[in-house]
């Protein structure tokens, strides 16, 4: 099993690159995020690798960091989510964003990915809600650790619902509410939470 590859970037395509490792060119599939971060043609690069072995093919999937690799593993553990769909989700929802989308149960955020319809998005959100809590979600932008209580608290739900009614997306609304709660003097004051959340959204 290949766990990591280091070499020189030979070429790029829309969803993969060829990495020259000591004269051997490895075709590595990757998300748009990884492809944009890894470097330019002719530069040295290292990728963490997931290897998929089938009767007719050995396919490599590369990741710029461990967080993206861990999310890929989680996503592809859901029935109906293949490697292609997993990379597509990571392209539209980078790891820090994906943690917010799952915590907020934001189905629309997932259906932006190619190959992910409403039913599959619902299954991903349902199955990963608990699994995601067992790894470090690291929503750095939110500035707080998402907990089950926060995800299901009535004040949070009311605040998110109010922001949705104002036209904000679910994941953005949830993230703003989490940020607001970390700054509020009273975590149970809905009016204060909403004022701070709106300030976050307008920043």
Q: What tens digit of pLDDT does each residue of 156-198 get?
A: 788 888 888 888 888 888 888 888 888 887 777 888 888 888 8
Percent of the chain topping pLDDT 90: 52
Would you state the pLDDT for residue 164?
A: 84
Residue 150 has pLDDT above 80, yes or no: no
Q: For residue 153, what are the contacts with CB-CB under 8 A and spacing of at least 6?
A: none
Would you state the pLDDT for residue 134?
A: 55
What is the C-alpha to C-alpha distance for residues 63 and 69, in angstroms, rounded to an integer? 6
Q: CB-hemisphere CA count at 13 Å for 6?
A: 0
Say whether domain 4-64 belongs to CATH 3.30.428.10.
Answer: no
Domain range summary for the chain, segments of one domain joined by +: 4-64, 66-136, 142-203
Residue 139 has pLDDT above 70, yes or no: no
* Arithmetic mean of pLDDT over the chain: 85
Would you state the pLDDT for residue 132?
A: 64
| Most confident of the following: 97-106, 108-117, 133-142 | 108-117
Six-digit token pair at 47?
A: 């990728």
Q: CB-hemisphere CA count at 13 Å for 55?
A: 0
Q: What tens digit of pLDDT does each residue of 12-55 get?
A: 999 999 999 999 999 999 999 999 999 999 999 999 999 998 88
Do the first three CATH levels of 4-64 and 66-136 match, i.e. the same topology? no
Would you state the pLDDT for residue 143?
A: 36
Which of the two residues, 102 and 44, has the higher pLDDT score? Answer: 44
φ/ψ of residue 70, rounded to 5: -65, -40
pTM of the full structure: 0.72
CATH of domain 66-136: 1.10.150.20
Count of helix runs (H) and strand runs (E) in the chain: 10, 5
Which of the two residues, 47 and 151, has the higher pLDDT score? Answer: 47
Strand (E) or helix (H) holding 86: helix 83-92
Would you state the pLDDT for residue 130?
A: 76
Q: What is the DSSP string of 102-169?
A: HHTT-HHHHHTSTT--HHHHHHHHHHHHHHHTTS----TTTTS---HHHHH-HHHHHHHHHHHHTT--
What is the C-alpha to C-alpha distance for residues 40 and 59, in angstroms, rounded to an integer? 22
Instruction: Return the number of other C-beta atoms located less than 10 Å from residue 154's C-beta.
Output: 9
Residue 146 has pLDDT above 60, yes or no: no
Residue 69 has pLDDT above 90, yes or no: yes
DSSP state of 136: -
Which of the two residues, 79 and 201, has the higher pLDDT score? Answer: 79
Q: What angle do CA 86, 68, 115 make, to 5 degrees?
A: 15
């Amino acid at each position: 099993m290949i766990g990591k590859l280091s070499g020189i970037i030979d070429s790029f395509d829309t969803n993969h690159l060829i990495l020259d490792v000591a004269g051997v060119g490895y075709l590595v599939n990757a998300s748009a995020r990884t492809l944009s971060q890894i470097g330019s043609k002719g530069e040295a690069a290292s990728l963490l690798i997931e290897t998929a072995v089938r009767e007719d093919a050995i396919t490599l999937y590369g990741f710029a960091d461990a967080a993206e690799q861990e999310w890929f593993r989680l996503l592809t553990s859901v029935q109906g989510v293949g490697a292609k769909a997993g990379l597509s989700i990571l392209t539209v929802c980078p790891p820090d964003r994906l943690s917010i989308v799952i915590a907020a149960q934001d189905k629309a955020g997932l259906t932006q990915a190619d190959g992910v319809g409403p039913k599959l998005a619902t299954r991903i959100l349902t199955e990963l809600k608990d699994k995601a809590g067992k790894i470090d979600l690291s929503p750095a932008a939110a500035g707080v650790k998402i907990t089950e209580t926060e995800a299901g608290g009535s004040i949070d739900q009311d605040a998110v619902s109010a922001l949705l009614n104002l036209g904000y997306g679910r994941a953005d609304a949830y993230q703003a509410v989490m940020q607001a709660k970390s700054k509020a003097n009273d975590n149970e004051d809905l009016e204060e939470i909403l004022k701070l959340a709106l300030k976050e959204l307008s920043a």
